[in-house]
C-alpha cells in the first residue's frame, strides 16, 4: 500500500486475494498462513509445466553454481542449445533465435526486424489483441483504455477485426511491413479463429509481400493442445514471438524466432538489436529444461484432453445457468468463460477467491474469466475446480434472482 501501487492493492483486496504467497508446487500456491490456493490462472500463461518443476529448478541451480550471467562476448552454450532446440520444434522455416526477457520485448524486437527487413513502416494488428505495454507493443495492442493516455503512439499502425481475412487484404497498403496476430487471442477474451482464417492470412501476407508475425507469447509451448497454436492450422510465420511458459515458471525469458530470409537484417550490423540480459545462461538453461519437460511429459496432448473435459463440463454449467454464463470457449487448456455482464463476473471472482481458487479476467475483456491451469493438472484438481465453479455459479444465480 505504501510503496508499490495502492490502487492495485485495493483492487486485489476487493477481489478477495489480500494475502501473501509463500511457496508453490504443481497447481498449488500456499500463502504465509498455510492456505492452499488452486491455481487456475497459471501466472497468465507462465506456469504451463506447473510451479517449481524440479527438473527446471535443478538445472537452474547447477547453472547458477557454474556461471549465472554471460560475458556477452564469448559464446554461451545454453543459448546455442536452446536456439537449436527452438528451431527444431518450431513451425516452417523458423531457424534463428534472439533471446530477450519478456513478451513485450520479444514484440518490440519483432517490430524492428519487420521494419528493417521490408524497409516499410506500417503495421496491421487486431482489435482486442494484446502484445504488451511498452510503446511499440502498446501501439498494436487493440484496447483503447491502454492506448489512449499515451498517444501519439508509433505511427502507421492500423487495427482490423480479428478473424476477418478480407479486412486484412483491404488494410494492406504500399507501406505495410507486417501483420501481427495471436493465433488464438488470449487477453482479448480467448477467441479461437475460424479454421480458414490463418491459412488465408498467410496466403494474403505472401501475395502482398508483407511479413506474418505470430505472437505465441501466451498460446505457445503446449497450451492449446499442440506445441504451437500455429500448428493447428499448419501455418508458417516469418517471425514468431515466445515468452511466458518458455522460462518454465522459474525465470523470465522471451524469444524472437525468424526465418533465414528475415535474419538477413543482422548481416550489415550484427548489433542492430541487442539486450544485456537476454539469452543469459540461467534463463536459457531454464528454457531448455522447460521444453524437455513439455515434450517428455507429453503436455500438449494432456492439454488437449483435459481442456476438452473442462470445456464440456463448463458448457453443461452454462446450459443450466445462462443468467450467469453467456459463453464458454477455448482450445486445449486455454479456456474463457464469458459472464452475462461484468458485475456478475466480479461477484464470481470473489466467490471463487473465497473457495481459494486463483482466477482472473482477461486484460482486454473484463467479462471473460480465463482458465489456464498447468497442463499436467490432475483430474482430481480439475474436478475440484469444476465443483467450486458450480457452487459459485449457483450462489451468484440465486443472488441475481433475489434482486
Ligand atoms: N503477447 C501476448 C500474446 C501476451 O499475452 C502478453 C502478455 O500477456 C504479451 C505479449 C506481453 O508479455 P509481457 O507481459 O511478458 O511483456
Q: Can you give the pTM of this predicted structure?
A: 0.97
pLDDT of residue 345: 87
Hey, whose CA ends up nearest to atom 1 of ligand 1? 131
The residue whose C-alpha atom lies closest to atom 13 belonging to ligand 1 is: 103
How many Å apart are CA 313 and CA 323, to the nearest integer?
17
Nearest CA to ligand 1 atom 10: 131
Determine, yes or no, domain membership for 335.
no
Q: How far is the CA of 321 from the centre of ligand 1 (A)?
A: 32
User: How many domains does the chain divide into?
Assistant: 1
Q: What is the pLDDT of residue 294?
A: 98
Looking up residue 278, the CATH number of its domain turns out to be 3.40.640.10
Residue 8 resides in a domain:
no
Contact 217, 255 (CB under 8 A): no
- Residue 311 included in any domain: no
Q: Is residue 398 part of a domain?
A: no
**pLDDT tens-digit series, residues 201-251:** 999 999 999 999 999 999 999 999 999 999 999 999 999 999 999 999 999
Sequence-distant (6+) residues with CB within 8 A of 308 are none
How far is Cα 142 from Cα 153, in angstroms, rounded to an integer?
12
pLDDT band at 366 (very low <50, low <70, confident <90, very high): confident
Flag whether pLDDT at 196 surpasses 90.
yes
Max Cα distance, the chain (Å)? 69
Range of the domain at 65: 54-296
Q: Rounded CA gap, 158 and 139, in Å?
A: 9
Position 203 in a domain: yes
Residue 397 lies in a domain: no
With bands split at pLDDT 50, 70 and 90, how would you rate the model's confidence at 400? Answer: confident
Domain assignment of residue 140, yes or no: yes
Å from CA of 66 to ligand 1 middle: 31
Above 90 in pLDDT, residue 346? Answer: no
Atom index in ligand 1 nearest the CA of residue 44 equals 8
Q: Is the CB of 129 under 6 A from ligand 1?
A: no
Amino acid at each position: 500500500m505504501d510503496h508499490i501501487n495502492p490502487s492495485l492493492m485495493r483492487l486485489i483486496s476487493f477481489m478477495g486475494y489480500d494475502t501473501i504467497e509463500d511457496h508453490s508446487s504443481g497447481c498449488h500456491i500456499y500463502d504465509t498462513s498455510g492456505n492452499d490456493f488452486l491455481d487456475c490462472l497459471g501466472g497468465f500463461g507462465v506456469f504451463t509445466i506447473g510451479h517449481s518443476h524440479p527438473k527446471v529448478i535443478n538445472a537452474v541451480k547447477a547453472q547458477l553454481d557454474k556461471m549465472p550471467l554471460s560475458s556477452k562476448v564469448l559464446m554461451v552454450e545454453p543459448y546455442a542449445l536452446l536456439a537449436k532446440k527452438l528451431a527444431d520444434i518450431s513451425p516452417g522455416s523458423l531457424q534463428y533465435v534472439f533471446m530477450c526477457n519478456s513478451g513485450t520485448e520479444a514484440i518490440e524486437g519483432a517490430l524492428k526486424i519487420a521494419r528493417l527487413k521490408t524497409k516499410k513502416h506500417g503495421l496491421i494488428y487486431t482489435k482486442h489483441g494484446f502484445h504488451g505495454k511498452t510503446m511499440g507493443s502498446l501501439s498494436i495492442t487493440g484496447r483503447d483504455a491502454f492506448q489512449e493516455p499515451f498517444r501519439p503512439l508509433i505511427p502507421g499502425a492500423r487495427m482490423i477485426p480479428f478473424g476477418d481475412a478480407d479486412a486484412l487484404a483491404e488494410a494492406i497498403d504500399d507501406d505495410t511491413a507486417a501483420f501481427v496476430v495471436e493465433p488464438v487471442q488470449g487477453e482479448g477474451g480467448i477467441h479461437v479463429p475460424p479454421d480458414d482464417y490463418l491459412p488465408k492470412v498467410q496466403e494474403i501476407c505472401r501475395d502482398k509481400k508483407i511479413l506474418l508475425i505470430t505472437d505465441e507469447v501466451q498460446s505457445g509451448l503446449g497450451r492449446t493442445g499442440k506445441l504451437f497454436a500455429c500448428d493447428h492450422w499448419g501455418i508458417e510465420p516469418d517471425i514468431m514471438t515466445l515468452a511466458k511458459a518458455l522460462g518454465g515458471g522459474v525465470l523470465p525469458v522471451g524469444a524472437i524466432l525468424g526465418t533465414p530470409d528475415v535474419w538477413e537484417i543482422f548481416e550489415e550490423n550484427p548489433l542492430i538489436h541487442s539486450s544485456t540480459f537476454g539469452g543469459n545462461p540461467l534463463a536459457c538453461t531454464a528454457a531448455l529444461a522447460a521444453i524437455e519437460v513439455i515434450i517428455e511429459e507429453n503436455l500438449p496432448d494432456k492439454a488437449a484432453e483435459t481442456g476438452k473435459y473442462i470445456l464440456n463440463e463448463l458448457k453443461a454449467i452454462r446450459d443450466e445457468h445462462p443468467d450467469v454464463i453467456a459463453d464458454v470457449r477455448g482450445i486445449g487448456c486455454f479456456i474463457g468463460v464469458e459472464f452475462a455482464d461484468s458485475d456478475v463476473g466480479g461477484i464470481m471472482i470473489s466467490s471463487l477467491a473465497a473457495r481459494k481458487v486463483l482466477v482472473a479476467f482477461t486484460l482486454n475483456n473484463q467479462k471473460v474469466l480465463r482458465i489456464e491451469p498447468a497442463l499436467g493438472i490432475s483430474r482430481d484438481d480439475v474436478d475440484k475446480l469444476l465443483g467450486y465453479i458450480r457452487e459459485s455459479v449457483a450462489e451468484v444465480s440465486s443472488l441475481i434472482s433475489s434482486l
